[in-house]
Copies of this chain bind each other. A is one copy, B any other.
């Protein structure tokens, strides 16, 4: 089958999930993506994971087997094939340019349109974001702790690096939001005194 296929990043991400030792079901993949992939590269919908797994299998990059009887809707575990591993390695190694990171930050969209919103509403939104981010930070640290413990073979050292990056990133995100809170406060102070310029 396909010696080299053009696939969306999501397909490679799912194949990447499969590239770590062991067999996994789509359901398990989804949980894993929620717990780690999503910190630096979003977690696809479960239905999409199933779709990608079917595509990967059609390409010969993965195989599946049912644990029990050949009945529909019973557990199906996937494993990467040698071909899949080769294709993934070629993708990982190929292309000088990996493509720019994409950030969609709804909060910033709101801030940007801040002239339409009450100042304290805006502050609340930012505060809520900080709380949310702290929650994510805890989860990222949990994930990191799990990887640290499960060590042994070196296959997990790169996910570890990715999670460390995610941890720092979330810390930075909190700092960024706090700085923005200050900016907003300053804006209000200036606004309250009336003019565009200082007193």
- Kindly list chain B residues whose C-beta atoms are within 8 Å of the C-beta of A168: 176, 179
Q: Measured between C-beta atoms, what is the minimum distance from A89 to chain B in Å?
A: 4
Interface residue ranges of A117-171 to B (CB < 8 Å): 117-118, 121, 125, 128-129, 132, 151-155, 157-159, 161-162, 164-166, 168-169
A9 in the interface (beta carbon within 8 A): yes
User: Quick check: B93 and A101 within 8 Å, CB to CB?
Assistant: no
A114 in the interface (beta carbon within 8 A): yes
Give which listed residue, B103, B112, B152, contacts A196 with CB less than 8 A. B152
A12 in the interface (beta carbon within 8 A): yes
- Kindly list chain B residues whose C-beta atoms are within 8 Å of the C-beta of A187: 157-158, 161
- Kindly list chain B residues whose C-beta atoms are within 8 Å of the C-beta of A9: 104, 106, 109
Query: A132's closest neighbor in chain B, by CB?
Result: B100
A7 in the interface (beta carbon within 8 A): no
A20 to B175, CA, bound (A): 29
- Kindly list chain B residues whose C-beta atoms are within 8 Å of the C-beta of A179: 165, 168
- Kindly list chain B residues whose C-beta atoms are within 8 Å of the C-beta of A85: 116
A51 in the interface (beta carbon within 8 A): no
- Kindly list chain B residues whose C-beta atoms are within 8 Å of the C-beta of A162: 108, 111-112
A168 to B176, CA, bound (A): 7
A183 in the interface (beta carbon within 8 A): yes
User: Quick check: A113 and B128 within 8 Å, CB to CB?
Assistant: no
- Kindly list chain B residues whose C-beta atoms are within 8 Å of the C-beta of A99: 106
User: Quick check: A41 and B125 within 8 Å, CB to CB?
Assistant: no
A107 in the interface (beta carbon within 8 A): yes
Q: Identify the 4 closest CB pairs spanning chains A and B, nearest first.
A: A114-B158, A40-B108, A112-B162, A172-B172
15 more CB-based (< 8 A) A-B contacts, given A19-B116, A172-B175? A9-B104, A19-B115, A40-B108, A41-B104, A92-B113, A92-B116, A93-B118, A96-B128, A97-B128, A101-B106, A111-B162, A114-B158, A154-B196, A161-B180, A165-B179
